Amino acid sequence: MPDNVEISTLRLPRHIAIVMDGNGRWAKQRHRPRSFGHRAGQKAVRATIEFCLQRGISALTLFAFSSENWQRPQSEVGALMELFLKALDREVDELHGYGVRIRFIGDLSAFAPALRERMQAAMAKTFANAKLALNIAVNYGGRWDIVNAARQIAAAVQRGELAPTQIDERCMAQFFCLADLPPPDLFIRTGGEQRISNFLLWQLAYSELVFSDVLWPDYDADCLQRALDDFAQRERRYGKTGDQVSANGSRPELK
Ligand code: IPE
Ligand code: IPE
Ligand code: MG
């Protein structure tokens, strides 16, 4: 196998997490309502899923609605809920056919029963698929994820199943969303802002961060390829020195 092929597969992220930002500004540039931008953003979602399927990336986590986004105008929140509902009805069968496992992460209890039922049905239907783990973060907050983990740990202690001295990073990690997946290797945020906005806080500890000025509806396979090229150039050191890392090969794992 030629060197460059080896490097290109070794340096491919297993898990990509994306803050899909910039829909509102994209619509504003066109003098259209913000919901127009959200609708346009769906094309970029499809392109991203196809890209991951084609490139053999095994997990993709998309931030679709944060726990703070409820504070937006009611009309925008309503339009987003409508879009989610329609997208579920339209896309689930096709994604299932491609071997995609769909998972929603976040506090689903806040959603209307009709939407919640469809989310649950999509998760149940695609549960056994293994080609791509597609995680959609809705009413998700990284701080909520931490609180949720803390609650489950406290309950396990209360039941006498866990001693406080047994709580370490490995133990805690099991209680966060997506505990069964490797943490994101690559975090992408579109739309020009350089912040995490309460996305995966625990899970992003050692992710490589890539920021793009492209607004989400315009994000496409070329943009994703540029992010992968950028990722392939990074040296992930996990606290070690560059010399230690090069002596150990190009993918040192945590501990
Ligand atoms: C991201 O785009 C989508 C959601 C948060 C639902 P925005 O709606 O935040 O777009 P901008 O940042 O206002 O341009
Ligand atoms: C983050 O984007 C949430 C999603 C993309 C779903 P926001 O647009 O809500 O983030 P802020 O408000 O700019 O930090
Ligand atoms: Mg935004």
Express each pLDDT in 123-166 by its tens digit. 999 999 999 999 999 999 999 999 999 999 999 999 999 999 99
Is residue 4 situated within a structural domain? no
21 CA distance to ligand 1 centroid (A)? 5
Is residue 58 situated within a structural domain? yes
Check if 69 is active-site: yes
For residue 9, is pLDDT > 70?
no
User: 1, 184 in Cβ contact below 8 A?
Assistant: no
Give the range of the structural domain holding residue 201, as residue numbers without chain letter. 13-141+184-234
- For the chain, how many structural domains are there in total? 1
Is residue 178 situated within a structural domain? no
Say what the pLDDT of residue 251 is.
Answer: 57
**Where residue 206 sits, what CATH number does that domain have?**
3.40.1180.10
Which ligand 2 atom sits closest to the C-alpha of 69?
9
Please identify which of the residues 3, 4, 23, 69 carries the catalytic annotation. Answer: 69
Report d(CA 41, CA 25) in Å as an integer: 12
Q: Judge if the beta carbon of residue 69 lies within 6 A of ligand 1.
A: yes
Ligand 2 pocket by Cβ (under 6 Å): 19-21, 63-66, 69, 193, 195, 197
Mean of pLDDT values over 196-203: 98
For residue 175, is pLDDT > 90?
yes
| 10-30 pLDDT, tens digit each | 699 999 999 999 999 999 999
Is residue 245 situated within a structural domain? no
For the CA of 23, the nearest ligand: 1
Report d(CA 91, CA 68) in Å as an integer: 26
| 97-116 pLDDT, tens digit each | 999 999 999 999 999 999 99
Report d(CA 72, CA 89) in Å as an integer: 25
Percent of the chain predicted with pLDDT > 90:
93
Say what the pLDDT of residue 2 is.
Answer: 44
User: 19, 44 in Cβ contact below 8 A?
Assistant: no
22 CA distance to ligand 3 centroid (A)? 5
Three-state DSSP at 156 gives: helix
Q: Judge if the beta carbon of residue 217 lies within 6 A of ligand 1.
A: no
Is residue 72 situated within a structural domain? yes
86 CA distance to ligand 3 centroid (A)? 22
Is residue 239 situated within a structural domain? no
| 64-87 pLDDT, tens digit each | 999 999 999 999 999 999 999 999
Say what the pLDDT of residue 207 is.
Answer: 98
pLDDT band at residue 187, thresholds of 50, 70 and 90?
very high
205 CA distance to ligand 2 centroid (A)? 19
Beta strands in 59-169 (DSSP E): 59-66, 100-105, 132-140
Say what the pLDDT of residue 91 is.
Answer: 98
Say what the pLDDT of residue 252 is.
Answer: 54
φ, ψ for residue 63, nearest 5 deg: -90, 110
Q: Which residue has the higher pLDDT, 136 or 250?
A: 136
Please identify which of the residues 4, 21, 185, 218 carries the catalytic annotation. Answer: 21
Report d(CA 23, CA 79) in Å as an integer: 13
pLDDT band at residue 248, thresholds of 50, 70 and 90?
confident
Query: Which one, of 12, 14, 222, lies nearest residue 4 by Cα?
Result: 12
User: 180, 48 in Cβ contact below 8 A?
Assistant: no
Mean of pLDDT values over 199-208: 98
Identity of the residue numbered 49? I
Is residue 148 situated within a structural domain? no
Mean of pLDDT values over 37-63: 98
Is residue 137 situated within a structural domain? yes
Say what the pLDDT of residue 90 is.
Answer: 97
**What does pLDDT average to over the chain?**
94
Beta strands in the chain (DSSP E): 15-19, 59-66, 100-105, 132-140, 186-189, 208-211
